[in-house]
Structure 1
Amino acid sequence: MGVLISGTGSNMKALVAASRAADSIFEIACVVSNKADAAGITWAKELGVATQIISHRDYPSREAFDAALNDYMQAQHLDAIACAGFMRVMTPVLVAPWAGKILNIHPSLLPLYKGLHTHERAIAAGEKEAGCTVHLVTAELDDGPILAQARVPVLAGDTPESLAARVLLEEHKLYPKALSDFLSR
């Protein structure tokens, strides 16, 4: 597995921890970030996981960045890719060669609240539940087939931050399990 991140990498940490369990069926071969200052890269290095920075700012277009990212991931001979807080919209240049092999975790109960500010939008809409979704990545943003979901209640007085914290706890449990289930099919 390769893991793509842009920030702290908390879901990547959950995946690495799961990969090191005795009964794990997957191994994290590399962690790649589009941001050199991503805290998750430092953490991965400290654990001895191979890391790579491929900055989107070094390329003239999304397609050029995705081509470079694809070239690197292909060179690693990966079976699949897990996006874990990778904050880039992918183009077909990256998605097509990995069709059916890129997973993402999204902080809403898809198909609701694609994109950003999911918790704020769920609260504003008066939702009774929120949660997270593991799905396959397609050329459409947050639109691929749903593999697994976890739900949490939206509580009276919730802020986007308090709701996000509860959802994130579920993400850390859901993603490793959904990944294992996906790989064992």
Structure 2
Amino acid sequence: MKKLFIIFAAILFVACNSSKEKTKMDENTSTEMISEKSKEKINDTVPYEDSVMLLGKANRKGFEMEAFKDWFNTGYETYTVDSEILDKLKPLLKEVTITLFMGTWCEDSQRETPHFYKILDETNFDESKLTLITVSEEKTTPQGLEEGKNITNVPTLIFYKDGKELGRIVEYPIESLEKDMLAILSGKEYKHAYAE
């Protein structure tokens, strides 16, 4: 009888502790899940050829990574902005939001993205109004951020005012980034490189 009581007490002790541990684990797991949902992954990398590529939502800090900093910094530092056009762009940029789709694997994106950031810096653009989305070679993201946006080539810069698309620059500017942006933002007729 004494042995039976000891066995029963041991089983009860293990069961109670494991249910406490399980509850503790459930609380931690649900906290982790909630915090993961509230934290959107930014600057996520995936393997690409002998290196990596950014994929999904990103920001300028992503270009500081070893795989990207050489082309980004060189492109940024060597680009000379058209200051005459910048003066006209500054007031127009205050009223817009911009979405940039680009691929860190893409030569056109590597050329235009640093130039674009330099233009934004020179115009004191509020970078919180810029959404940077990095895509795969298929122009997709795991989150489907490209859906409904008709992204056929990168980089694609889309300019919005009051939620409505004003226009876009696709793969490369027709004249220059500054002149193309000015045409779009001032409401002039503008057709990107792939417009029909």
Both proteins in one fold, TM over 0.5: no
Write 1 or 2 for the structure with the bigger share of helix: 2
Larger Rg: 2
**TM-score if structure 2 supplies the norm length?**
0.28
